[in-house]
Amino acid sequence: MKLRIYRDNIRLRLTPSDVHQLMTSRSLMETTHFPTSTFAYICRLTADVAQPTAKFEANQITVDLPLAAAQRWADSPDVTLAGSQQIGDGRTLQILIEKDFECLLPGKDEPGVELYPNPRKTQTV
C-alpha cells in the first residue's frame, strides 16, 4: 500500500495482494521508521462508517472504509473508492483509495511488486 498526501488530499494505492489482505483481515498497515519515531498508516474496514474517513493521532493515519462499499469495490473493475470529510474552517479532506496499476512506461514500476494490469496498456509506448 502506498500513501500520497498533498494538502488536504490523502490517496492510498493498493496492489492486488494488498486488496486481498484488506478483505481477508479487514486491516492493512505500513510503517516508515525514523531515527526517533515510527510513522504508520492503516486502512481498515468497518461497518461503523458510511463513507471513507480518516484521522491522524500518535504518528499514525487511520483510514476507515465502509465494509460493504469496500467489498463491492474489491470485487469489481472499479478503480477508486472515494470520500470526503469536513475538517473545520470550511475545509474538506478528500480521501481516495485506488487500485495500483502498472506503469505504461517500461522500468517505472517497483521491482517485485504485483500491480493491476493497466487498462490503457493496449499499445506499445
Interacting residues of 53 by C-beta distance below 8 A, sequence separation 6+: 63, 64, 83, 85, 95
Is 14 contained in some domain?
Answer: yes
Is 106 contained in some domain?
Answer: no
Is 88 contained in some domain?
Answer: yes
Q: What is the domain range of residue 45? A: 2-99
Q: How confident is the model at residue 125, as a pLDDT? A: 45
Q: How confident is the model at residue 64, as a pLDDT? A: 98
Is 35 contained in some domain?
Answer: yes
- Cα separation of 110 and 119, whole Å? 19
pLDDT digits (tens, 9 = 90+) for 101-113: 766 555 555 655 6
Is 78 contained in some domain?
Answer: yes
Is 68 contained in some domain?
Answer: yes
| Locus of grid cell 462499499 | 69
Q: Where residue 122 falls among pLDDT bands split at 50, 70, 90?
A: low
pLDDT digits (tens, 9 = 90+) for 14-39: 999 999 999 999 999 999 999 999 99
Q: How confident is the model at residue 109, as a pLDDT? A: 53
How many domains would you assign to the chain? 1
Lowest mean pLDDT among 43-47, 65-69, 112-116: 112-116
Percentages (nearest 5) of helix, strand, coil residues in the chain: 15, 45, 40
pLDDT digits (tens, 9 = 90+) for 52-84: 999 999 999 999 999 999 999 999 999 999 999
Is 110 contained in some domain?
Answer: no
The better pLDDT of the pair 83, 125 is held by 83
Q: What is the DSSP letter of 16?
A: H
- Cα separation of 63 and 3, whole Å? 11
CATH number at residue 83: 3.30.1360
Is 107 contained in some domain?
Answer: no
DSSP 69-125: HHHHHHTSS--EEEEEEEEETTEEEEEEEEE-BPPSSTT-SPTT---BPPTTTTS--
- Cα separation of 74 and 37, whole Å? 33
